[in-house]
A and B are shown apart, each in its own frame.
Chain A
Amino acid sequence: AQTVTQSQPEMSVQEAETVTLSCTYDTSESDYYLFWYKQPPSRQMILVIRQEAYKQQNATENRFSVNFQKAAKSFSLKISDSQLGDAAMYFCAYRSPGTQGGSEKLVFGKGTKLTVNP
């Protein structure tokens, strides 16, 4: 079974600075998808960024980018120019491609709580 590990329960960053959240995963599959979700205090789960394992290029979404190291099974999230609104729990998630619709469950890490200091 796949597992996802986030080794940093909590992180803090100064506003406008850069922070990197770590994530490693364990799988024997070669084809899969990786995600970072954000959960602010409102509780809503929001997709931040997605990476397909077959793509060598790291995904970027505005201030958010990933460092995907397939051989090392590592998928870190970098947040540049941190803003107060970035404060939230961040979850790394793994997903197999699945053999049929509905079988592609998300496997989550335990989350990293990010605090942004003004």
Chain B
Amino acid sequence: DTAVSQTPKYLVTQMGNDKSIKCEQNLGHDTMYWYKQDSKKFLKIMFSYNNKELIINETVPNRFSPKSPDKAHLNLHINSLELGDSAVYFCASSYGLAGDEQFFGPGTRLTVL
């Protein structure tokens, strides 16, 4: 069984479109995260949720809107896609405890044309 899954794994779309990436974890974790990995492989936190509550919002443009319908799911919706949004987006989850390992999903490669 996959611990943290993301759909889709690849997403190619035109500038200006709206798209969503879904994330699900079956580890029973309370906390979920979105990270962005740019073309130079740099990874940066975007959002975190704990028990469906937004905790971290790391100066991300408001075109990005995370939604957590329940503890096991954290989706990322992106409006009016721009070329600079092209990246790999990783979902991760953990128990939210100090020192706890964050488990990562396989990533979604978003390409904006």
Stretch at the interface among A13-21, A60-68, A101-109: A101-109
How many residues in A have their beta carbons less than 8 Å from beta carbons of B? 26
Chain B residues with CB under 8 Å of A44's CB are 104, 106-107
Q: How many A-B residue pairs have CB under 8 A?
A: 74
Given A50-B99, A50-B101, A110-B40, A102-B107 contact (CB < 8 Å): no
Find out whether the CB atom of A43 lies under 8 angstroms from the CB atom of B107.
yes
Contact with A along B47-76 (1 / 0, CB 8 A): 011110101101000000000000000000
What are 25 A-B residue pairs whose CB atoms fall within 8 Å in the complex? A33-B98, A33-B99, A43-B88, A43-B106, A43-B109, A44-B107, A45-B90, A45-B92, A45-B104, A47-B101, A52-B99, A97-B99, A98-B96, A100-B55, A101-B31, A101-B97, A102-B30, A102-B33, A103-B48, A103-B55, A104-B96, A104-B98, A105-B45, A106-B45, A108-B43
Q: Which residues of B contact A (CB under 8 A)?
A: 30-31, 33, 35, 40-45, 48-51, 53, 55-56, 58, 88, 90, 92, 94-102, 104, 106-107, 109
